[in-house]
Amino acid sequence: MPRLSIADCEAIVRALDEHSTQGLHALRAAARLRQRLEQAYVSKATSASRPTRLPALHEPDGSTHRSCTLHVCTSCRAPGSPREPKVSRAGFQLYEQLRAAFQESPNGSNVEVRPAECLSVCPRPCGIALSLAGAWTYLFGDQHPGGSTRDIVDCVSHYLATADGFMPREQRPQSLRASILGRVPPLHGEL
């Protein structure tokens, strides 16, 4: 790749911001380009006292172009709580609350909230998983209806604004720090 100045990186990102990208291949190509730009930008910005992450690709209303999936285990329940009815389980209630919360969020159209039967984190209810093509995948436990919803919405907004989905502990909301159970790098070739 030819050498890029900070101004080059910023100009290209502005151009990407101005032209909406449609279709999976276009989105992946934009993600690859963005990652290369970020690598070039970070090495230059560090010595020039610029922000060390490129701005996210945003729509005029503040939403982002990319879409992610938030799986919520609807089977999770607190130890000792009844199995039936299923709609009373903590996981099901969290799923319903998150669906409603994202409908009101500026990023709501970029987030698909999907029910999952079990995420295999049963001893740490409630379980959720966050994934996006070309980005890190996250698995969390210890989420609670009512208590976690706001933090999860904030975390997903941050996730969408990153270049590759990577979120260090200190950049995640409080309830999504110690509750992390794992994160998986993007598949080879996705970026």
Residues that bind ligand FES (CB under 6 A): 73, 75-76, 91, 118-122, 125, 127
Smallest distance, ligand FES to C-beta of residue 120, A: 6
Smallest distance, ligand FES to C-beta of residue 98, A: 14
- CB-wise, 72 or 167, nearer to ligand FES? 72
- CB-wise, 40 or 126, nearer to ligand FES? 126
- CB-wise, 41 or 140, nearer to ligand FES? 140
Please name which of 101, 81, 108, 189 lies closest in space to residue 147, comparing C-alpha atoms: 101
Whether the CA torsion 67, 16, 104, 183 is positive or negative: it is: positive
Smallest distance, ligand FES to C-beta of residue 141, A: 8
Smallest distance, ligand FES to C-beta of residue 128, A: 9
Tokens of 42: 């970070």
Residue 47 parent element (H or E) = helix 24-48
- E-assigned strand segments in 23-142: 68-73, 111-116, 128-131, 137-140
